[in-house]
Structure 1
Amino acid sequence: MLQTDLSKFKGIIVAMNSCYDRNGRVDEGAVGELVAFLAKRGVKGVYVGGSTGEGMLQSVEERKRVLEAVMAAKPLDFTVIAHVGAITTRDSVELAEHAESVGADALSAIPPFYYRISEHGVEEHWASMMRASGLPFIIYHIPATTGFSLSKPLLQKMLAYPQTIGVKITTPSTYELQQFKALGGPDFLLFNGPDEQLLAGLSLGADAGIGGTYGMMPELFVAIYEAFRQGRMEEARTYQTWANDIIAELLDMPVYGAIKEIVKMRGVDCGQPRLPLEPVPADRLPAVRKLYEKMMSYVEACGAAV
């Protein structure tokens, strides 16, 4: 395995929102504001250009601009993982080279999607990014959206590449998470993906969490992680229950649009999600406001408890 400081990846890492201006262009100023907002609330770092970051809906140049804005705004001890996955290997390699050039801490990538690519093809796709960069590499396993499921034999092959340091796993199976951890060994990083089961993932070996709803209520997820780490399981369960109460209502809304509205209510205007992701209709905004108020009651209670 690549010699790197693995501690920089352990903790709460926010799958960061994209930020656009009123004309739908990348808003570097808002990106910086969002990084500052998150850094002040104790998160370990950010995951840039993934699902919540709308990376698949942006051009290569837009993705570079977002990452550059993050790097310009981040504190010194703030971890930045650049998601560089794309449908073409060429674009992924270009993004990987760029991520290294601007100082990102690690790369991550989904497998290529839409086409049915063989395991050998996916391995070569990921290996091309590693050959283009000296950065640590984190596999992003999210079969519900990519249609490709990371098998244990393929993971075993990927472990032969020294840059492969972990897997971000977004599936409902904590058993699969535990099996990947066992295969990779104690120094192999597992990043829990489903926000609503962060505590379950940590309990079965996850070293960190990467999530999209973390960005609107980072305090709750930091509290879950710290309570678990300190052995205060009852508190951790309480905080996870509070987070899940918010997530359950959020899932009845246009999720990405609602997250952005709540982040705006917290002081950072990230603009609207890029179509075809749906914004929140005007008649649903009162429901989002009500959800925000409930969420903030939990955030405040969490702060008082901690």
Structure 2
Amino acid sequence: MKTPTTPRTPPAPAPFGRALCAMITPFTAGGEALDLDGAQRLAARLVAEGCDGLVLNGTTGESPTTTDAEKSELIRAVREAVGDGAPIVSGVGTADTRHTVELTHAAQKAGADAVLVVPPYYSRPPQEAIEEHFRTVADASGVPVMLYDIPARTGVRIEPDTLLRLAEHPSIVAVKDCSNDFLAAQKLLSRTELAYYAGCDEHNLALYAVGATGYVSTVANVIPAQLRSVLDEFDKGDTKRAARLQHQATPLIESIMHTPLPGTVTPKTLLTTLNHPAGPPRAPLRPADSETTASLLTTYERVTTC
């Protein structure tokens, strides 16, 4: 006999929706320019296939190798493509507080609904300096701020106590969590009203089950509807099916996010192979070789035909 299910009320708050895609930045064939038409087509497809919102100019969007002007151009193009129906969050993080404030103003002017801010990287400032950096950006911002905890790339954590203090700032409304610290995530979920988004696709369901708002996903560039269905089934109360769908996506999550290649190269490789807009990554990143490409495609086909 089938176990009865009880629909689950989605967690609140959800300022940017639940299912967000960390969108790649499409380039022309040589990588020298933005493919704005391609970006618009990709953005429209992602929204049509289940993404509530889009995160542009982030890690997956190759923000270290796009110019300030290109970042604004991308926001304007995607805004035109998706209209007001899908929130746009733009990455503005740099190692320089002044530059981050400038990018925040530029993103707002270009049409972003919110900004994504990482701790200043490379210089590895102490927690007091990280907190002051975020407060300075939030004070200057005319749009909501999502903090991005990704110590593997920045070299520093946003420590839980720092996040607890920052949660009191009226402009700081959300966190994208790539800390791999599940205990800290649960503590913050229980003690703040921050919208909490899984930033590692393998944690999408696990964090959602303990009250997170949703996810910011790189893998959603490739399988947006499948990842969205995990949350939808959980909300319906069918937690077993949600788990099965998460497990079904796991091989592709591993192939895209847990290889020697950065999680920008792999989704671009698959999108190009599937005839979606992408283009090559910019140097110093390099396209995947033919063996990796074939392996990614095989995994994709297995995952999407289960």
Q: TM-score, normalised by structure 2?
A: 0.90
Q: Which residue number in structure 1 is paired with residue 19 of structure 2?
A: 12
Is 1:280 matched with 2:264? no
**2:43 maps to amino acid:** V
Distance in 2, Cα, partners of 1:249 & 1:109: 27
Match of 2:116 among 108, 113, 116: 108
Return the letter of the residue paired with 1:176: A
Query: How far apart in 2 are the matches of 1:26 and 1:6?
Result: 34
Question: Quick one: distance in 1 between partners of 2:93 and 2:131?
Answer: 13
| Alignment partner of 1:215 is 2:221 | yes
**Quick check: 206-215 or 272-281, which moved more?**
272-281
Is the CA contact 1:142–1:171 (under 8 Å) kept in the aligned structure 2?
A: yes
Q: Please tell me whether the aligned partners of residues 14 and 45 of structure 1 are also in contact (alpha carbons under 8 angstroms).
A: yes
2:196 paired with 1:190 = yes
Paired residues for 1:237-252 under 5 Å:
237-250=243-256, 251-252=258-259
Q: How many Å separate the matches in 2 of 1:171 and 1:228? A: 24
Distance in 2 (alpha carbons) for counterparts of 1:214 and 1:27: 20
Following the alignment from structure 1 to structure 2, what is the Cα–Cα distance between the partners of residues 46 and 159?
A: 23
Aligned to 1:304: none
Q: Does the 8 Å CA contact 1:142/1:169 hold for their aligned counterparts?
A: yes
Q: 1:45: Cα distance to partner?
A: 0.8
Give the match's secondary structure for 2:264: helix
Moved more, 24-33 or 274-283: 274-283
Asked whether 1:268 is paired with 2:288, we answer no
Q: How far apart, CA to CA, are the structure 2 residues paired with 1:143 and 1:198?
A: 18
Contact (CA 8 Å) 1:18, 1:53: kept in 2 or not?
Answer: yes
Name the counterpart of 2:147. Answer: 139
1:233 equivalent in structure 2 = 239
Q: Which amino acid aligns with 1:23?
A: G
Q: Kindly provide the amino acid, as one letter, of the partner of residue 115 in structure 1.
A: S
Is 1:289 aligned to 2:297, yes or no? yes
Report the counterpart of residue 65 of structure 1 in structure 2.
73
Greater Cα shift, 131-140 or 232-241: 131-140
- Tell me by how many angstroms 1:61 deviates: 1.8
Number of aligned residue pairs: 292
Matches within 5 A, 1:91-106: 91-106=99-114
Aligned to 1:157: 165
For 2:125, the equivalent position in structure 1 comes to: 117
Q: Structure 1 CA distance, aligned partners of 2:255 and 2:247?
A: 13
1:67-82 equivalences under 5 Å are 67-82=75-90
Structure 1's unaligned 5+ residue stretches are 299-306
Aligned equivalents of 2:23, 2:106: Cα separation in 1: 19
Q: Is the CA contact 1:227–1:236 (under 8 Å) kept in the aligned structure 2?
A: yes
1:258-295: per-residue Cα shift (whole Å, max 9, x none)? 21122224442210111222311134332233223223
The whole-number CA distance in structure 2 between the counterparts of 1:19 and 1:179 is 38
Two-structure CA RMSD over aligned residues (Å): 1.8
Q: Deviations over 1:26-79 (max 9, x none)?
A: 111111011011011011011111111111222222222222222121132111
TM-score of the superposed pair, with normalisation by structure 1: 0.90
Question: How far is 1:129 from its partner?
Answer: 1.9
d(CA) in 1 for partners of 2:125 and 2:196?
24
SS of the residue 1:9 aligns to = coil
The residue matched to 1:121 in structure 2 has which SS?
helix
Greater relative CO, 1 or 2 (CA 8 Å, sep 6+): 2
1:43 corresponds, among 33, 48, 51, to 51
Quickly say closer, same or farther: Cα 1:63–1:297, change in 2 above 3 A.
same
Identity %: 26
Shift of 1:9: 1.9
CA shift, 1:6, in A, is: 4.5
Q: CA deviation at 1:100?
A: 1.5
What is the CA deviation profile of residues 167-209 of structure 1, one whole-angstrom value per residue up to 9, with x for unaligned ones? 111122222211111221xx32111111012110111221110
Which residue of structure 1 lines up, in the alignment, with residue 7 of structure 2? none
State how far apart, in whole Å, the 1-side matches of 2:294 and 2:111 are.
41
Please say which of residues 220-229 and 260-269 is displaced more in the overlay.
260-269
